[in-house]
Amino acid sequence: SKKKFETLTLKQILDKVINQKQLKKGVQNIRVCNSWGEVMGKNIVIYTDQVRFSNNILYVKIKSAPLKMELKFKIDLIKDKLNQHLERSLIKKVIIY
């Protein structure tokens, strides 16, 4: 009895691996956290202390009080830009603290 082998592209293999729930969640968290720097740029990143993503909420710790206030005023725009960058609505809320 000959075994039949299925040929897969590297992308298909990676998709299968990443779709394992825990790994998918971990990779997703990294992508969301990285998107902060990619979207906001280095001038914001230098004042960013911490970024974490949990339960569809992005928590961002900012070192500068004036910048913190400025970002809070633009919170909805920031959330929309991040989701647009990620090409899906993963972030339901952004909390700047």
Q: What is the pLDDT of residue 1?
A: 62
Q: pLDDT (tens digit, 9 = 90+) per residue, 40-86?
A: 999 999 999 999 999 999 999 999 999 999 999 999 999 999 999 99
Max CA-CA distance within the chain? 72
| Domains of the chain, first to last | 10-96 (3.30.300)
Helix (H, G, I), strand (E, B) or coil at 37: helix
Q: pLDDT (tens digit, 9 = 90+) per residue, 21-43?
A: 777 888 899 999 999 999 999 99
Q: What is the pLDDT of residue 96?
A: 98
Rounded Cα distance between 37 and 30, Å, is: 12
State the pTM of this model: 0.78
Rounded Cα distance between 51 and 71, Å, is: 14
71 phi/psi in degrees, rounded to 5 = -65, -35
